Structure 1
Amino acid sequence: MLLPRPLLTLAALVAALAAPSVMAIPGAVVTTPQVRAELVAHAPEGLGPGRPMALGLLIRHQPGWHTYWKNPGDSGLPTTFAWTLPEGASAGDIRWPTPRRLPVGPLMNFGYDGTLLLPVPLTVAEGFKGERLDVTLHAEWLVCKEVCIPESGDFALSLPREQATAGQAEAFAAAEAAKPVPATGAQARARIDGQAVVVEVKGLPADWQGAALDVLPATAGALRNAAVPQASWSGAVWTARLEIDPQHTESPPALDLVLVRDGVPAGLEINAPVSGSWPAPADAATPAEPAATPAAPPADTSLGLALALAFGGGLLLNLMPCVFPVLSLKVLGFAAHAHDRAKLLAGGLAYTAGVVVSFVALAGLLLALRAGGEQLGWGFQLQQPGVVAALAALFTLIGLNLAGVFEFGSVLPSSWAAARARHPLVDSLLTGVLAVAVASPCTAPFMGASLGVAVTLPAPQALTIFAALGLGMAAPYLLASAWPRLAGALPRPGVWMAHFKVLMAFPMFATVVWLVWVLGQQAGIDGAAALLALLVALAFAAWAFGSRSLGVRARTGFGLLSLALFGATLAWALPAWREAPPAATAAAAETGWQPWSAERVAQALAEGKPVFVDFTAAWCVTCQVNKRTTLAREEVLAEFRARGVVLLRADWTRRDAAITAELARLGRSGVPVYALYAPGGGAPRVLSEILSPAEVRAMLAELPAVAAPA
């Protein structure tokens, strides 16, 4: 939900009415420390069918910063647009200007710096009759220097239908002049020759023949971007030998290429059909790609082992602190029905069903989104501030209920409360669902390799692994519900249960503290404060509506006040959660640690320095334990310094496609992950998820010491 836009003042209204062309609604410009992005339009004859019209995002980069082309190269992400236009209007695809090479160590990217306009064609149907055309755009881009920062912006413009809009005519003309044009009359073909593609082009324009040409691959994932093309002329035929990426992910039947000539702003587009069979991707990493995607182990051996690890990981999951508060609810249920074997067994089966079905459903959603191109990993739901806030609110309500502040029966409609009493199995099933919601981020320490294998297997086998994880987690409670002797050992229901119920409220509140801290890492101090205010308003509403001691008049008055407070705090919270915290992260503030990026890794390796990367997240409890017990120890840090190791921290607290992709290359789908990249190529060394100083020192002992400066 967005906040209502503020009303225009009288002076602003007069100025808006007097404006002859574009009226900029608040949000037309987004400024960050790295770029200034502005939504602009070009309609020199006004809006109408057949008239020249275009929209565009004008990006002015700060010195040293750059964004990416549709093929970003070895790292990076292209800029994306999502338009909202009225009926009768539509926006086309981005008309990408010709990019330039952006070398980063042994890697090669393609993109833009300085001032950039990304235009799109705008069309209006015959039936469009509005006086103005309201345009909104959600854009996302990755801006990089030594570090890469994913950024986004929401923009809006209101364009007059009959008046000319040409304030950015020069920028649109320059973008059009820089757009690659089809090489009319040219004929291109390509053939596979070992580990290279040989491209031949004839019929290029006369002023291009004999010139030194560069070639940029518009088709991503097939060619080695950093390799220098071996090009030559034979009369009017230009030939280039392009290296195939050893870990290529695409084997296209035709290559889309852009030829570039010095001094000419626009490249030439060619499409070269490929003859011959593409070689199979190599298994080993090369210096141009520090980490290759590992091949999935054979199914006959890996699946059985992954199932065993998943079941064992599920068993151990019951000991994790992020799961214990939910399991305390099961303890209450066990105590209430300890001597009613039928109800105990039914509750255990319902809880098991809730756990298994939730794990399989969550895994199915993850696999479906990844198949659709989304860069997601296990535990992705806690990368969204809204999900974290919803869980914090739920645990707050559960804690207040256990503490006796309110009763659910006083808040829920009588029919719901009666249904809840008639169907206690539904409570057990939903307890299993809740347990999975908060437990999934804790699974990686026990089964990181199994999860990595699971996301590479066919969907039925992958879902079987996640079902085994759920069975392992639910097994102790299922066995206890089916074993009469264990149930009989529990004390009989009595007064002690009322005290025990209040005691169980405190683990709930402790979980809320953790979730507030997680959201603070995602959205900064303002986001955490907004969540705390929202929880206070929620607690007030729960007391107002659910307290049995209040009369009808008092409950109505306090209830309406609590709803007003809740709405006001929610209006403050939602924008605060959408904004990322300042770029200066906690990782950068810690001595010796820098934010991770693929460019930093490549640069350090090119300088002959080993790199240690801590893939972490605020919601990962094991990550925080390892950080404090091992990675923050002075003797461990001193050993890193003695070996000249570059320390990078990849913070996955919020969704980050680049980190997700790197985890996938390491064969993992969740955190924590600890990897050592050594100069000279070769696959990175991945350490265990439960880290110890001894393991880190043993790893560092294999590296040569760095001589102290004189």
Structure 2
Amino acid sequence: MLHTTLFDRRRPERQALRLGTGLGPHLSASLCALVALSGLFAAPASAQLELRPGPHSSSRALSGAASASVTTPRVTAELVALAPQGVGPGQPLWLGLSLRHQPGWHTYWKNPGDSGLPTQLSWQLPAGLSAGEIDWPVPHKIRIGQLANLGYENTVLLPVPVQVSRDWRATGDTLPVRLHAQWLVCREECIPEQADLALDVPVAGSTAAQAPAFAAARAAQPQALKGEHSARVAGQTLSLRIAGLPAAWRGQALELFPEDAEVLDIAAPSPARWDGAVWTTEVPLSAQRSSSPGQLTVVLPSPQAGSPAYRAQLSVQGEWPPVAAPSAVSPALSAALAANQATAARPEPLPASTPVGPLAWALALLGALVGGLVLNLMPCVFPVLAIKLLGFSRHSGADGARALRLQGLAYTTGVVLSFAALGGLMLALRAGGAQLGWGFQLQSPWVVAGLAALFTVIGLNLAGVFEFGHWLPSRVASAQARHPVADAAWSGVLAVAIASPCTAPFMGASLGFAVALPALQALAIFVALGLGMALPYLAVALLPGLSDGLARRLPKPGAWMQTFRQLMAFPMFGTVAWLVWVLGQQSGIDGAGSLLALLVALSALAWALSRPGAGRLGLSAVSAALLLWLGWALGPNLNPPPEAAPSAARNADAPAASGWAPWSEARAQALVAEGRPVFIDFTAAWCVTCQVNKRGTLANAALLKDMADQRVALLRADWTRQDPAITQALKALGRSGVPVYVVLRPGQAPVVLSELLSVAEVRQALALPPT
């Protein structure tokens, strides 16, 4: 579904672990259970369904098959029919689109007013049937700031008459009706939506369940007004005289809605008066008038409830002033409108995905493989690989080599299957309309807090504060030694879980590419990502030369391994500090402070459970009680309502402080329309690469000065919390995650820069002088 912000051409409207040998028994199974639990709430916390079956549709809608009704977060659209005497020549047949709007949202009339687009219907009917034009019900005026739109709120039915030819003969018991509908739904922001709807109308029986709705729609049609009407152009004003209106209307204030768009300024004050039975008014011409009609059709809504509206046709006298030159429309908006029109003209729905050529797919697989390799260098993943590789020093001989191969294959299987499962979940949610991308689980403060707790426990274990074997029955604690292959597979699952906060370079293009592919091709890219991450361990496990060489270069097992293990705790604690900062960006300083307090209590409980002697139970009980009390008291601070949570872009990137302003599609396109180049930083607090670029390239003083001298507008789109508008913008750019850097220039296509940003690349994209 195309999602972009649309602008009025005149005035823009805001539319728009068990980690390996030496870590303590059975850590992987215990911690993977925690990871699995956190995964249960990851998707619901951040997913926002954009399109789902409506109340009268079947489950086929989610799999791509058309149904009679669809529901988005803003509108429920339903295809309805009225054939009270069945379908046949000479029998009345009406079809229609019913739109039920959520509070605050509206769609548009045939003349949308100062902004917007009218709803468009493209029908597919059997031979011998032809659909007419929409019989538009009378709209009402919707004011947003200084603008005036004409449209519908609550529920509206757009009826369409259908003509059945005399020689038409039924070929079955039902008449198949297919409709491709497009509408623009707006509040302050605007979102283009579309749906493919299907309905089978009984041929012989009566279809009259929607008769009251069609009757109400007919009652809302304006009636033809007889009488002497006239209109005359005088300078920049059109004077109208309308006669024949009901006597009960006389003396009352009336509204006037022209059916022709971009002729009259309906938002401007229009003086009006009654001359006996004739109503006169003077309406300013639109400053962006695009036509000079010789005849003007206007609709006058009734000022009295229950009274019909009227439609008058007026011949225009006088000379129209020259029309205004069309103002420039941004390239992105032109492309969006062209795409909407092209889709509307297509009789068949677009396929959900398209296979690509072998070369493009191979490049995407290579990018994913390299991205997986780079993941091993991230601070939250490196300890896993390092400690796994240390295990090679304990294996020797044929049996040891065989055990290494089995564990290497098991670890790789765990990594690859975990990435495939995570990718499959994302693809399934997106296929159902969820607005999310790679890293979606970290947009939930609960997931961030859960990962911080997980890494705290891992760090405490690595530091030697406790051993899981002290907590568990001996049979459970010894399971790792009895099942080393299964333990290695669990280690792979856990490695993927703790790698999720670390968005590596080279992943953005491949994963953004993947979500537009057929399922099997897309999953192959996620498998390549997992294979890249597991490749170092797998290579050493399968190649005797590598494993023997590594074993020879490592010191003999001894006290140094315990020291190394404790040293690896500090990257984990560093990751915890970073996750606390991420949660602070999402939930504010109160959320970060509450998480720190809970982590301290969790650490105290882990320490108490590892104490020897009789005092262990008492200390553990007090620590557990403290943790539960803090969870009850401080837990709500971790995930406050979105309106109460601070905006990272607002707090950290205020324009006065750094030159950066929060991104919106409306702001970006308005700046481009002014002729200014725009640099957009799609970022998130949990994105490691984003923070590296932000504190490196994007903090370069010389670059920022040259940007300011060239009037480059700097916009930051913060995706730390789930944001459907940013998700759709990324999707339109062929990306599924952050970082993404985009340069917009008037009259040019958007330029997407690389994930690892350099000063030279930014200068080249913006045509700035090199340093």
Specify the TM-score bucket, using the shorter chain as the normaliser.
0.5 to 0.7
1:217-228 to structure 2, matched below 5 A, reads none
- Which residue type is aligned with residue 321 of structure 1? P
- Over 3 Å counting, the alpha-carbon distance change for 1:67 and 1:454 in structure 2 is closer
Residue in 1 that maps onto 2:719: 652
Aligned with 2:362 (options 304, 312, 316): 304
Cα distance in 2 between the residues matched to 1:228 and 1:455: 43
Residue in 1 that maps onto 2:628: 567
1:493-504 to structure 2, matched below 5 A, reads 493-504=557-568
Q: Assess if the C-alpha contact under 8 Å between 2:372 and 2:533 holds in 1.
A: yes
1:207-356 to structure 2, matched below 5 A, reads 212-213=258-259, 285-287=332-334, 289=336, 298-337=356-395, 340-356=400-416
- Which residue type is aligned with residue 213 of structure 1? E
Cα distance in 2 between the residues matched to 1:427 and 1:376: 32
Residue in 2 that maps onto 1:545: 609
Aligned-partner SS, 2:654:
helix
Whether 1:693 and 2:728 are equivalent positions in the alignment is no
Cα distance in 1 between the residues matched to 2:300 and 2:587: 43
Residue in 2 that maps onto 1:381: 441
Aligned with 1:182 (options 217, 241, 245): 217
Shift of 1:644: 0.8
Aligned with 2:505 (options 436, 442, 445): 445
Q: Comparing 310-319 with 455-464, which one deviates more in the overlay?
A: 310-319
Q: Assess if the C-alpha contact under 8 Å between 2:590 and 2:637 holds in 1.
A: yes
Shift of 1:439: 2.6
Whether 1:362 and 2:422 are equivalent positions in the alignment is yes
Q: Comparing 454-463 with 579-588, which one deviates more in the overlay?
A: 579-588
Q: Assess if the C-alpha contact under 8 Å between 1:285 and 1:291 holds in 2.
A: no
Shift of 1:441: 5.0
- Over 3 Å counting, the alpha-carbon distance change for 1:379 and 1:142 in structure 2 is farther
Cα distance in 2 between the residues matched to 1:335 and 1:494: 10
CA RMSD, 1 decimal: 4.7
Cα distance in 2 between the residues matched to 1:316 and 1:296: 29
Deviations 1:615-641 (A, max 9, x none): 011111111111111111111111111
Structure showing greater radius of gyration is: 2
Q: Comparing 332-341 with 483-492, which one deviates more in the overlay?
A: 332-341
Shift of 1:390: 1.2
Aligned with 2:479 (options 404, 419, 436): 419
Shift of 1:426: 3.0
- Tell me the TM-score normalised to structure 2 length: 0.58
Aligned-partner SS, 2:714:
strand
1:513-592 to structure 2, matched below 5 A, reads 513-547=577-611, 550-552=612-614, 554-579=615-640, 580=642, 581-583=645-647, 584-588=650-654, 590-592=657-659
Aligned-partner SS, 1:320:
coil
Q: Which has the higher contact order (CA 8 A, sep 6+)?
A: 2
Aligned with 2:735 (options 668, 678, 685): 668
Aligned with 2:528 (options 468, 482, 489): 468
1:62-141 to structure 2, matched below 5 A, reads 99=106
Shift of 1:436: 1.8
Q: Assess if the C-alpha contact under 8 Å between 2:389 and 2:537 holds in 1.
A: no
Identity within the alignment, %: 51
Shift of 1:292: 7.7
Aligned with 2:668 (options 570, 577, 601): 601
Deviations 1:328-387 (A, max 9, x none): 332343344466222222221111011100110000000011011111111111111111
Residue in 2 that maps onto 1:678: 745
Deviations 1:228-254 (A, max 9, x none): 99998999xx89xxxxxxxxxxxxxxx
Moved segments of 4+, more than 6 Å: 64-68, 100-112, 117-120, 205-210, 227-235, 262-269, 290-297
- Which residue type is aligned with residue 383 of structure 2? P
Cα distance in 2 between the residues matched to 1:71 and 1:349: 40
- Over 3 Å counting, the alpha-carbon distance change for 1:643 and 1:565 in structure 2 is same
- Over 3 Å counting, the alpha-carbon distance change for 1:289 and 1:67 in structure 2 is closer
Aligned-partner SS, 1:701:
coil
- Over 3 Å counting, the alpha-carbon distance change for 1:299 and 1:495 in structure 2 is same
- Tell me the TM-score normalised to structure 1 length: 0.62
Shift of 1:299: 3.0
Q: Assess if the C-alpha contact under 8 Å between 2:105 and 2:186 holds in 1.
A: no
- Which residue type is aligned with residue 694 of structure 1? A
Shift of 1:454: 0.6
Shift of 1:315: 2.0
Cα distance in 1 between the residues matched to 2:595 and 2:632: 11
Residue in 2 that maps onto 1:612: 679
- Which residue type is aligned with residue 668 of structure 2? V
- Over 3 Å counting, the alpha-carbon distance change for 1:406 and 1:450 in structure 2 is same
Q: Assess if the C-alpha contact under 8 Å between 1:292 and 1:665 holds in 2.
A: no
1:200-211 to structure 2, matched below 5 A, reads none
Aligned-partner SS, 1:614:
strand
Cα distance in 1 between the residues matched to 2:766 and 2:474: 64
Shift of 1:287: 3.5
Whether 1:623 and 2:683 are equivalent positions in the alignment is no
- Over 3 Å counting, the alpha-carbon distance change for 1:230 and 1:374 in structure 2 is farther
Deviations 1:103-150 (A, max 9, x none): 999977998769xx9989xxxxxxxxxxxxxxxxxxxx99859x99xx
- Over 3 Å counting, the alpha-carbon distance change for 1:210 and 1:318 in structure 2 is closer
Cα distance in 2 between the residues matched to 1:357 and 1:304: 20
1:25-40 to structure 2, matched below 5 A, reads none
- Which residue type is aligned with residue 183 of structure 1? R
Shift of 1:457: 0.4
Deviations 1:398-433 (A, max 9, x none): 111111111101122333213233223333222222
Q: Assess if the C-alpha contact under 8 Å between 1:405 and 1:543 holds in 2.
A: yes
Deviations 1:556-615 (A, max 9, x none): 111111111111222234311221433432122641001111111122122221211000
Q: Assess if the C-alpha contact under 8 Å between 1:399 and 1:506 holds in 2.
A: yes
Q: Assess if the C-alpha contact under 8 Å between 1:71 and 1:78 holds in 2.
A: yes
- Which residue type is aligned with residue 528 of structure 2? A
Cα distance in 1 between the residues matched to 2:628 and 2:595: 13
Deviations 1:192-241 (A, max 9, x none): xxxxxxxxxxxxx999999623799xxxxxxxxxx999998999xx89xx
Residue in 2 that maps onto 1:6: none
- Over 3 Å counting, the alpha-carbon distance change for 1:515 and 1:341 in structure 2 is same
Q: Assess if the C-alpha contact under 8 Å between 2:353 and 2:517 holds in 1.
A: no
Shift of 1:449: 1.7
Cα distance in 2 between the residues matched to 1:452 and 1:582: 28
1:33-48 to structure 2, matched below 5 A, reads none
Whether 1:400 and 2:460 are equivalent positions in the alignment is yes
Aligned-partner SS, 2:446:
helix
Q: Assess if the C-alpha contact under 8 Å between 2:369 and 2:529 holds in 1.
A: yes
Cα distance in 2 between the residues matched to 1:105 and 1:354: 57
Aligned-partner SS, 1:661:
helix
Aligned length: 507
- Which residue type is aligned with residue 530 of structure 1? S
